Amino acid sequence: ETGVTQTPRHLVMGMTNKKSLKCEQHLGHNAMYWYKQSAKKPLELMFVYSLEERVENNSVPSRFSPECPNSSHLFLHLHTLQPEDSALYLCASSQDGLGFDEQFFGPGTRLTVL
Amino acid sequence: DQQVKQNSPSLSVQEGRISILNCDYTNSMFDYFLWYKKYPAEGPTFLISISSIKDKNEDGRFTVFLNKSAKHLSLHIVPSQPGDSAVYFCAASERETSGSRLTFGEGTQLTVNP
């Protein structure tokens, strides 16, 4: 595997379910990100981790819970989501979290909440 | 309040001609600007960037122009090729203060016709 991978690619869940999105980067980077892209809207930054520590949380509802066990893996745990949470969730990584290098994105997980 | 705007949701050009994609921003603290390209079912990929200390950056067929006084940047692709057909996202950051936090525009769908 190369670059940034995300699983699953598609997920359909009910509002009472609990699920997790997984992201893995094979680039040796130290920073990882979760973004949300809703239909007809710009990508919105959700979380930033640098060296496995959360450095930014953009006022995301608590029903989204990130986890970064090491610099290569990032999870997004989902519980009691709402239909308006249906979106494309993108993971990205960069060499550091300082903004002096570009971010590399995974293919995304298309989430549908029924 | 959307700080980065791409007012054209779509653009269609003929192969061999120039494609010009536009982006406007409102935050005068942005000091770094990027363009990403996204194909269907893939994550965005970095294309080209420009620092606020420059007004032009060129990489092969791609040139980004920055007009700080107008808070406007544009991406020129010349000559355009059918493989350039994708969604193009403009992004901006305040590297000196906010590090890697990227603010994205809504994207412009470019179609290059053979």
- Kindly report, residue by residue over B49-99, the tens digit of the pLDDT: 999 999 999 999 999 999 999 999 999 999 999 999 999 999 998 877 766
B28 and chain A: CB distance < 8 Å anywhere? no
Q: Mutate which of A88, A103, A104, A109 to disrupt the B interface (most B C-beta within 10 Å)?
A: A103
DSSP letter for each residue of B49-105: EEETT-SEEEETTEEEEEETTTTEEEEEESS--GGG-EEEEEEEE-HHHHTT--EE-
Nearest to A33 by CA among A82, A95, A110: A95
Which contacts of A65-71 are long-range, i.e. CB under 8 A and separated by 24 or more positions? A66/A34, A68/A32, A71/A29, A71/A30, A71/A32
pLDDT at B100 over 80: no
Residue B111 has pLDDT above 90, yes or no: yes
A38 three-state secondary structure: coil
Are the C-beta atoms of B51 and B94 separated by less than 8 Å? no
Q: What pLDDT was estimated at residue B99?
A: 67
Q: Which domains does chain B have, with CATH numbers?
A: 4-113 (2.60.40.10)
The verdict on B107 touching A (C-beta cutoff 8 Å) is: yes
Query: Chain B partners of A100 at a C-beta cutoff of 8 Å?
Result: 95
Share of chain B above pLDDT 70, in %: 96
Share of chain B above pLDDT 90, in %: 87
pLDDT of A99? 65
* Chain A neighbors of B29, CB-CB under 8 A: none
Within an 8 Å CB–CB cutoff, is residue A105 touching chain B? Answer: yes
CB within 8 Å: A102 and B46: yes
* Residues B106, A108: C-beta atoms closer than 8 Å: no
How far apart (Å, rounded) are the C-alpha atoms in residues B59 and B90? 16
Average pLDDT, chain B: 94
In this prediction, residue B1 carries a pLDDT of 74
Q: Is A45 on the interface with B (CB under 8 A)?
A: yes
Residues of chain A with pLDDT under 70: 1, 98-100
3-state secondary structure of B7: coil
